[in-house]
């Protein structure tokens, strides 16, 4: 039984120790809560649970406190993949909901499993997800200052392995911030979030780079074909260097092997495996 969560990258890591500490503390609390939950729930249920807690924490760029797109609107993307059934579900650029990962969960048993924009919002309302404005004063201020260069702040993700050997991955994001309206993030694609019976991977970083490399799906495929998780992650991440790609990952293998990308010093993550570890 194992669980890893990540809080994405954040630009203040090197300069703002207070924010860094707050994120580490939040990750520690959520990793611990997730691990306790995993004792009595499946990997899939736990991935949704942990990502919902991360979405509710305004320190991260997912759910509450998400980045604002260039037209002033917040659009959220989230995806979930069940390693056991190899079903993927997601919402892309959904507006006015609190927990997009839970809308993705609602889509998982259906035939039509990835919805975007107003279709996703209509689906959410039909399934009793109430109106919620995820904007915080902090994000509004950043938007108003047009901090075009503010680094992608804190997408969130979780990969979990339960007692029955099932794997799951969940990822949620508010996107890059100041992007062209309706730009599609990697997070609700198989490049950013993927799981099967062999491995589960959640990514963060530059969505376009992650999509170009089909990062999560490629790593899981390599593990399925016999690679060690560490080798699959390292090889695939190295391939990003051909176009100067920027990404971080968390991964878990059915054997319990874990991978946490220390590919960038500003990525925050925490794992729980009887003992809590928090890093950035």
Give contact residues for ligand ASP (rule: CB under 6 A).
Answer: 8-9, 61, 152, 155, 173, 175-176, 185-187, 204-207, 210
Q: Minimum distance from CB of 165 to ligand ASP (Å)?
A: 28
Measured from the CB atom, the residue of 155 and 271 that comes closer to ligand ASP is 155
d(CA 265, CA 5): 16
Spot the catalytic one: 155, 171, 173, 204. 155
d(CA 191, CA 104): 16
d(CA 103, CA 195): 19
Q: Minimum distance from CB of 164 to ligand ASP (Å)?
A: 30
Residue 172, SS3?
Answer: strand
Q: Minimum distance from CB of 113 to ligand ASP (Å)?
A: 20
For residue 142, give every residue at least 6 positions away whose Cβ sits within 8 Å of its Cβ, in sequence order, or none: 67, 68, 150, 177
Measured from the CB atom, the residue of 56 and 273 that comes closer to ligand ASP is 56
Host H or E run for residue 210: helix 207-213
Q: Are 217 and 198 in contact (CB under 8 A)?
A: no
Q: Minimum distance from CB of 67 to ligand ASP (Å)?
A: 8
The total of other beta-carbon atoms located within 10 Å of residue 73's CB is 13
Q: Minimum distance from CB of 155 to ligand ASP (Å)?
A: 3
Measured from the CB atom, the residue of 77 and 166 that comes closer to ligand ASP is 77
* Residue 171 appears among annotated catalytic residues: no
d(CA 258, CA 241): 23
User: Whole-angstrom distance between the N-terminal and C-terminal Cα of the chain?
Assistant: 23
Measured from the CB atom, the residue of 8 and 63 that comes closer to ligand ASP is 8
Measured from the CB atom, the residue of 147 and 276 that comes closer to ligand ASP is 147
Q: Which residue is nearest to ligand ASP (CB)?
A: 207
Structure tokens, 76: 């959220």
Catalytic residues: 155
């Amino acid at each position: 039984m194992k669980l890893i969560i990540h809080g994405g990258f954040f630009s203040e890591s090197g300069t703002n120790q207070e924010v860094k500490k707050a994120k580490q503390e939040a990750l520690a609390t959520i990793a611990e809560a997730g691990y306790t939950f995993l004792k009595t729930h499946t990997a899939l249920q736990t991935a949704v649970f942990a990502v919902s807690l991360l979405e509710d924490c305004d320190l991260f760029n997912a759910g509450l406190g998400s980045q604002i797109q260039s037209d002033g609107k917040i659009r959220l993307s989230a995806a979930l993949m069940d390693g056991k059934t190899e079903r993927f579900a997601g919402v892309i650029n959904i507006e006015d909901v609190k927990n997009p990962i839970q809308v993705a969960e609602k889509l998982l048993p259906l035939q039509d499993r990835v919805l975007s924009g107003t279709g996703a919002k209509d689906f959410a309302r039909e399934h009793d997800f109430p109106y919620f404005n995820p904007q915080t004063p902090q994000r509004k201020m950043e938007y108003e200052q047009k901090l075009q260069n503010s680094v992608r702040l804190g997408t969130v993700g979780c990969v979990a392995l339960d007692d029955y050997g099932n794997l799951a991955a969940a990822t949620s994001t508010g996107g890059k911030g100041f992007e062209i309206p309706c730009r599609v993030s990697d997070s609700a694609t198989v490049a950013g979030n993927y799981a099967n019976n062999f491995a589960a991977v959640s990514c963060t970083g530059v969505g376009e780079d992650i999509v170009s490399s089909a990062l999560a799906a490629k790593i899981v495929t390599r593990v399925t074909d016999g690679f060690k998780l560490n080798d699959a992650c390292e090889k695939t991440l190295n391939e990003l260097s051909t176009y100067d790609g920027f990404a971080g990952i968390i991964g878990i293998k059915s054997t319990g092997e874990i991978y946490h990308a220390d590919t960038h010093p500003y990525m925050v993550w925490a794992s729980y495996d009887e003992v809590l570890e928090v890093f950035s």
